[in-house]
């Protein structure tokens, strides 16, 4: 088993443990706030438990040099001679735990270059997410392909074409409509005229997964209340961009691909606005 296979196995194994916690533990208890996390959000009990599962497993791998987590204040050096940085959000959408709405885990694996540096999202060699819904599903991408697995007594590879070139759904929090830039509202009006339908869960993994299955666009822009956006670059925005672009879609933050955003060594919890498009939705945005 090579190094990336070992990292992949950590996420397959521990995401299954997180899924089982959701199925077997009182969701009201799991959704209780226990403190503020390193990036300023309320940490739930399951955020903490999920982080510990992943951190304790990853730090044992000699190939992992550093770890970044939403729940950890600073980047952690765990193996001096490792070649990878692993970033993860242990439980995306955790505000939805007590409501029994789909939540998930998002992760990215960066390879240090020959100088021991990570430039941007193009240093990613593996990325994925696990969504805990009616079924537990893992989507995982390397530089060659994107794979979808569903757990049913074992992880089963599902052969399906992900991210149709054209969809019929857009995802944006329209309650913030009057805080958005005019270009965004004009774009949404254009989609509505083309008979697109709005869907918004509020768990990034849920909105992303629906878009990969049905096509469309996800937008979480900056606004007056969140001028830098709400999505963390290292362990949320980067990995989803890696998946979308691997599938022929597009990602944007400000005016360039999310993968071209500089790695934020001085602010590991940096937030950015995100745009994830299918091919036709991107064409509508740029024309």
Residue 88 is predicted with a pLDDT of 98
Residue 105 lies in a domain: yes
- Model confidence band, residue 243 (pLDDT cutoffs 50, 70, 90): very high
Which residues span the domain enclosing 7?
3-158
User: Are both 71 and 199 inside the same structural domain?
Assistant: no
Does any domain span residue 164? no
Active site residues: 41, 47, 70-71, 89, 91-92, 236
Residue 32: predicted pLDDT:
66
User: What does the alpha-carbon distance between residue 65 and residue 29 come to, in Å, rounded to a whole number?
Assistant: 34
Number of domains in the chain: 2
Could you tell me the pTM of the whole model? 0.94
pLDDT digits (tens, 9 = 90+) for 170-202: 999 999 988 898 999 999 999 999 999 999 998
**Domain boundary residue among 99, 128, 158?**
158
Answer yes or no: is 60 within a domain.
Answer: yes
**Residue 163 within any structural domain of the chain:** no
Q: State the alpha helices, DSSP H only, in the chain.
A: 3-24, 27-30, 45-58, 182-193, 204-214, 238-246, 279-286
CATH number at residue 19: 3.30.540.10
Is the same domain home to 98 and 8?
yes
Residue 42 lies in a domain: yes
Beta-strand pair 84-92/64-69: parallel
Within this chain, do residues 139 and 244 fall inside the same structural domain, yes or no?
no
Write the DSSP symbol of residue 263.
Answer: P
> What's the whole-number mean pLDDT along residues 42-60?
91
- 231 in any annotated domain: yes
Same domain, 138 and 9: yes
Do 220 and 93 have their domain in common?
no
- 124/189 same-domain check: no
132 occurs within a structural domain: yes
Residue 143 sits at φ, ψ, to 5 deg, of -75, -10
Same domain for 137 and 33, yes or no, is yes
| CA 280 vs CA 144, 214, 238: distances in Å | 23, 13, 22
- pLDDT tens-digit map of 129-174: 999 988 999 999 999 999 999 999 999 999 999 999 999 999 999 9
Same domain, residue pair 176 and 131: no
Residues 56 and 181 occupy one common structural domain: no
Q: Mean pLDDT throughout 235-261? A: 97
Q: Are residues 195 and 282 in the same domain?
A: yes
Residue 85 lies in a domain: yes
């Amino acid at each position: 088993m090579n190094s990336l296979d070992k990292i992949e196995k950590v996420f397959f194994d521990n995401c299954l443990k997180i899924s089982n916690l959701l199925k077997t533990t009182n969701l009201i208890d799991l959704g209780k706030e226990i403190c503020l996390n390193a990036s300023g959000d309320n940490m739930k009990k399951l955020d903490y438990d999920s982080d510990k599962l992943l951190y304790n497993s990853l730090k044992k791998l000699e190939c992992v040099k550093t770890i970044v987590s939403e729940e950890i204040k600073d980047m952690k050096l765990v193996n001096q001679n490792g070649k990878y940085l692993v970033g993860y959000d242990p439980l995306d959408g955790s505000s939805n735990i007590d409501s029994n709405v789909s939540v998930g885990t998002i992760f990215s694996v960066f390879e240090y270059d020959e100088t021991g540096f990570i430039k941007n999202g193009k240093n990613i060699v593996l990325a994925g997410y696990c969504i805990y819904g009616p079924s537990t599903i893992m989507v995982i991408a390397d530089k060659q392909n994107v794979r979808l697995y569903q757990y049913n007594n074992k992880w089963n590879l599902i052969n399906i074409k992900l991210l149709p070139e054209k969809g019929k759904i857009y995802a944006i929090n329209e309650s913030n409509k009057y805080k958005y830039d005019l270009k965004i509202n004009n774009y949404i009006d254009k989609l509505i005229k083309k008979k697109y339908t709005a869907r918004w869960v509020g768990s990034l993994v849920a909105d992303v997964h629906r878009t990969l299955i049905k096509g469309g666009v996800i937008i979480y822009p900056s606004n007056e209340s969140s001028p830098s956006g709400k999505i963390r670059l290292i362990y949320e925005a980067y990995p989803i961009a890696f998946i979308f672009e691997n599938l022929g879609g597009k990602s944007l933050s400000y005016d360039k691909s999310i993968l071209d955003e500089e790695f934020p060594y001085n602010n590991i919890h940096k937030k950015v606005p995100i745009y994830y498009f299918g091919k036709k939705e991107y064409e509508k945005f740029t024309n």
